[in-house]
Chains A and B, each alone.
Chain A
Amino acid sequence: MKLKKVLALGMAAMMTLSMVGCGSDGTADAPAADTTQDQAPAADDSADDAAAADSTEAEEPAADDSAEAPADDAAAGGVPGYLDITLGEDYTDLTATIKFLHCRTDREEDGTIADLVAKFNETYPNITVETEGVTDYAEDALLRLSTGDWGDIMLIPAIDTKELSTYFQPLGDLDAMSEQLNFVNAWSYDNVCYGIPMWGNAQGVVYNKAVFEAAGITDLPKTPDEFIADLQLIKDNTDAIPLYTNYAAGWTMGAWDAYMGVVAEGDDTFMNQKFAHTAEPFKDKGDGTGAYALYKILYDAVANGLIEDDYTTTDWEGCKGMINRGEIGTMVLGSWAFSQMVEAGDHGDDIGYMPFPMTVGGTQYVAAGGDYNYGINVNASDDNKTAALVFVKWLVEESGWNVSEGTYATSKNGENPTMYSAFDGCTMLSDLPAIAGEEDLLGEINAESELSFNSGGDAKVQRIVEAAATGSESYDDIMADWTAAWNDAQESLGIEVTY
């Protein structure tokens, strides 16, 4: 009886206490997040004074207050910058266990990542790398990030750049790193770099060479009109689906946004600097360029029946095999998709990759940009941060992962795959970062207008397909609607319209 009484009381006390614990945790988090806003990371010098880093301090208290951490750590020089590490020489005897959170569940399953880790361990035997592939990465990673409990390396999800220092370790001075690496400017703030791209993607069109040949297409299309004409040829001369939209998967529709700045405007400042300030970004320019002409391709293709029969039941996994077998002519996807299409069947040689069919002032532009960026947890211990940085640098520069994925190397001296031969003669540009002080502008106007360019705005592109298929809206009505939403957002956010 006594014992039971004690047990019951103890249980009751425990529950009450744990409740109190929960309550206070929740309230403590919010203000902490608020205070970080104004903290400019004073980490410019992280690269320089990291020479003292060899004496990696043993176990700094892991979970210090996130708000102050980045500036202090960098200044303290406990962790080297990205450029300070010489692979194969430094830190080969470092012992640590790090965890890598990523989105490539397919590579997790087929053992590619395990092989990479094994190869890494040949040089760095004492660094244990645990990996976890997350299926719905874009959303889950954000949630995991806000809990703080996610490991040491993560692919940076869509956050505001001013939040970077709250979560991620500063890796070095942006200018210095840009000299050696491509595409590093995506996740930077105040000239400090927080993320290293896994690799770069070029934005073009995946197509099946055999289908093009059977349709009688000899030259790759260079303008929207030529492209539509070629799709019509495919429809007339073969049984293949000219353009497979992948409407049902959703994100594959949002992929059209990637062609907006560099490809459609021929201007690497458009996307991050001018777009938010443009009064009529969706205006018909009349010369087959610009956002208007870009989405018009999709509208025309659907309206002319040049897409799959039932777009609402498209199957992303299935489409890979279909294009491989020659049942699909083209798909508008980034270069990352190329290797998946090649591997999906026996006719990998038929898969080709071409620049997007749009010519601005006589030149075909190709947008190339970094894929997901590796970011390192700012709250990890110094040993873990260093080990994580070594692993990231090795992945980027020595693993050769980008070649097997068919993507551009992050490192400027890196090896590139051969698939890019069709891109000879095109001008390759990467979107320039926003002007200082306007880093968050595009994100804000995207959210406010709910058009979400390049950030999950799939519904707006799906709407084009629906409108074209059912004739419910004309293309000009949709563009007028977008312009209205864009202008309303500019007004409510007080953005100056200068273009």
Chain B
Amino acid sequence: MTATTRSAKPAGRTFGQWLKSRDGQKVLVMIAFMIIPLALLFTFTYLPFAEMFGFSFYDMKYIGTRKFVGMKNYIKVFQRDDCFGALKLSLYYMAGSVVQLVLALYLATILSFKVKGGSIFKGFMFFPFLVNGIAIGFIFKFFYTRGFVFDTVLQWCGFQLDNLPYWLRDKRINNISLVATSVWRYFGQNMVLFIGAIMSVDSELYEAAMLDGANKFQQFKYIIMPSIKTIITLNVILSITGSLSAFEPPYVITDGANGTGTYFVVMNEIAHTQQKVGLASAMAIVLLLIIFAATILQKLFFKYVFKNAEDEDLNAAAKRDKKLAKLAARKAGR
């Protein structure tokens, strides 16, 4: 923006002259480049959102008259059991995302060291992310069908069909089955992001650590973890947000029936089957606020976990020194 301030120009230059000057041209080019993405962003993100925000104050269907009802829709969202009851299911998905991230981080660490056939493993594990979510839904529908793929594989392993649960029918485990599909789909993507970050760690650090006698776990704890904390934070935030808005697995595999209707599925049902567009819009806004809250909480949490983000390296080094000193002291004491 210095261009504009500097072009608060020597007096006397007309607008036309300024436009032809180097400064003017700079501004013009900037506007010309920015206007397209900004226009797209506005038209396809902010405008529809504003419309939806408006809808949330009306009692309306897709077609027909609208009636302004003020905050009534929001009050209903908080009164209805099914709206917030559905959020409880998000706990399953959150637990799933923890498993997913730990698994991804573990595999990423292993694969970032030299492993035979590492690329092939990476490829296989990343592959599910490339498959369309709806297709994955159909795959798993058959996967979990009684006596089909999963049961057959388990029978090879010596299980009896009679002892196996009904993966989608049994309400105690059907949400876990659904979460498993989402873990299967996304952990590869998380892993690739982690590997990318781990690759950027200076390899001299490992060498130095090795010379100092650090084992792999210590390398992970003191070198890798601190270096990729930004990516870890990002992945956690994305996963938690994703688990609040889980939609595809329950929608495609079980149609939200049998106690698997997540917040999004309930919202879809209300908007499209019951045609209560205003109420569904209010639900969407409430979910947005919840996601905001969750994100801010996580930000605070990570601030606490990775204290002093800026001079973390110094800090870590100091800590390391202290620990080494303690170790040395203990050894000497013995």
Q: Could you tell me the distance between the alpha carbons of A37 and B60 in the complex, rounded to whole angstroms?
A: 14
Flag whether A312 is at the interface (Cβ < 8 A).
yes
A12, B145: Cβ atoms closer than 8 Å: no
The number of chain B residues touching the other chain, given as a range, is 35 or more
In angstroms, Cα B141 to Cα A119, docked, is 41
Closest CB in chain B relative to A32 CB, distance in Å: 11
Among residues 263 to 298 in chain B, which have CB atoms less than 8 Å away from a CB atom of chain A? 269-270, 272-276
Instruction: Assess whether A447 is in contact with B276, with CB atoms less than 8 Å apart.
Output: yes
Q: A8-B28, A310-B168 are in contact. Are A248 and B254 (CB under 8 A)?
A: yes
Complex Cα gap A373–B256 (Å): 30
A286 at the interface (CB under 8 A from B): no
Q: Is B175 an interface residue (CB 8 A)?
A: no
- The answer to whether the Cβ of A311 comes within 8 Å of any Cβ in the partner chain is yes
Whether A54 is near chain B, meaning CB under 8 Å from some CB there, is: no
**B39-A15 in contact (CB<8A):** yes
A18–B47 Cα gap in the complex (Å)? Answer: 14
**B166–A466 touching, CB < 8 Å:** no
Interface residues on A, range: 35 or more
| Chain B 34-54 residues near chain A, CB threshold 8 A | 35-36, 39, 42-43, 47, 51
CB distance from A215 to the nearest CB of B (A): 23
Q: Which residues of B contact A457 (CB under 8 A)?
A: 273
Determine if A462 and B32 form an interchain contact, defined as CB atoms under 8 angstroms apart: no
Q: Are A163 and B31 in contact (CB under 8 A)?
A: no
**A310 touching B64, Cβ below 8 Å:** no
Q: Which residue of A lies closest to B174 (CB)?
A: A312
Contacts of A5 in B (CB 8 A): 25, 28
Query: Which of A139-147, A222-230, A257-265, A276-284 contacts its partner?
Result: A139-147
Q: Is A498 an interface residue (CB 8 A)?
A: no
Q: Is the CB of A313 within 8 A of B144?
A: yes
Find chain B residues with CB under 8 A from A315 CB: 145
Would you call A9 and B32 a contact (CB within 8 A)?
Answer: yes
- In the complex, chain B residues whose CB is within 8 Å of the CB of A23: 47
Tell me whether B258 and A452 are in contact (CB under 8 A): no
Measured between C-beta atoms, what is the minimum distance from B167 to chain A in Å? 8
Q: Which of B29, B43, B142, B144 contacts A8 (CB 8 A)?
A: B29
Question: Known contacts being A22-B47, A447-B274, A447-B275, is A312 close to B257, with CB within 8 Å?
Answer: yes
A145→B36 CA distance, assembly (Å):
30
Asked, given contacts A8-B29, A19-B42, whether A310 binds B169 with beta carbons under 8 Å apart, the answer is yes
- B119 located at the interface, meaning its Cβ lies under 8 Å from any Cβ of chain A in the complex: no
Distance from B45 Cβ to chain A, minimum over Cβ atoms (Å) = 13
Chain A: which residue is nearest B82 at the CB level?
A450
B171 contacts A by Cβ under 8 Å: yes
Task: Choose among A19, A30, A455 the residue that contacts B43 (Cβ–Cβ < 8 A).
Answer: A19
Say if the beta carbon of A106 comes within 8 Å of chain B.
no
Contact B63 A8 (CB under 8 A): no
Instruction: Classify the interface of chain A: helix, strand, loop or mixed.
Output: helix
Q: Does A495 contact B (CB under 8 A)?
A: no
A33 to chain B, nearest CB (A): 6
Q: Does A309 contact B (CB under 8 A)?
A: yes
Q: Is B146 an interface residue (CB 8 A)?
A: yes
* B312 interfacial by beta-carbon distance below 8 Å: no
Of the residues A146, A309, A458, A466, contact of B62 by C-beta under 8 Å: A146
Q: Considering only CB atoms, which chain B residue lies closest to A308 in the complex?
A: B146
Q: Does B255 contact A (CB under 8 A)?
A: yes
> With the chains together, A247 CA to B255 CA distance in Å?
10
Q: Quick one: closest B residue to A311, CB to CB?
A: B169
Q: Closest approach, in angstroms, between the C-beta of B277 and any C-beta of chain A? A: 11
A26 an interface residue at 8 Å Cβ cutoff?
Answer: yes
Find out whether the CB atom of B32 lies under 8 angstroms from the CB atom of A11.
Answer: yes
The reply to whether B36 and A313 form a contact with Cβ atoms under 8 Å apart is no
Q: Let me know if A370 is at the binding interface, CB within 8 A.
A: no
Bound-complex Cα distance A34 to B35 (A): 35
- CB of B257 within 8 A of CB of A466, answer yes
Does A160 sit at the interface, judged by CB under 8 A?
yes
- Pick from B35, B65, B270: contact of A15, CB below 8 A: B35
Tell whether A469 is near chain B: CB-to-CB under 8 Å.
yes
Q: How far is the CB of A485 from chain B (nearest CB, A)?
A: 12
Which residues of chain B are within 8 angstroms of A9 by Cβ–Cβ distance?
A: 28, 32
A-B pairs, top 5 by smallest CB distance, nearest first, are A8-B32, A313-B145, A310-B146, A312-B168, A15-B39
User: Which B residues lie at the A interface, using CB under 8 A?
Assistant: 25, 28-29, 31-32, 35-36, 39, 42-43, 47, 51, 61-66, 141-142, 144-146, 148, 166, 168-169, 171, 174, 254-259, 269-270, 272-276
Instruction: Give 23 pairs: A residue, B residue, CB < 8 Å, sorted on A.
Output: A8-B32, A11-B36, A12-B31, A12-B32, A16-B35, A19-B39, A19-B42, A26-B51, A30-B66, A142-B63, A145-B63, A159-B63, A163-B63, A247-B257, A250-B255, A310-B166, A312-B169, A312-B174, A312-B254, A312-B257, A313-B145, A450-B274, A458-B257
Extra 20 A-B pairs, beta carbons < 8 Å, given A15-B39, A143-B62, A466-B259: A5-B25, A8-B29, A11-B36, A18-B39, A23-B47, A26-B47, A37-B64, A160-B64, A248-B255, A310-B145, A310-B166, A312-B168, A312-B174, A312-B254, A313-B169, A447-B61, A456-B273, A457-B273, A459-B273, A469-B169
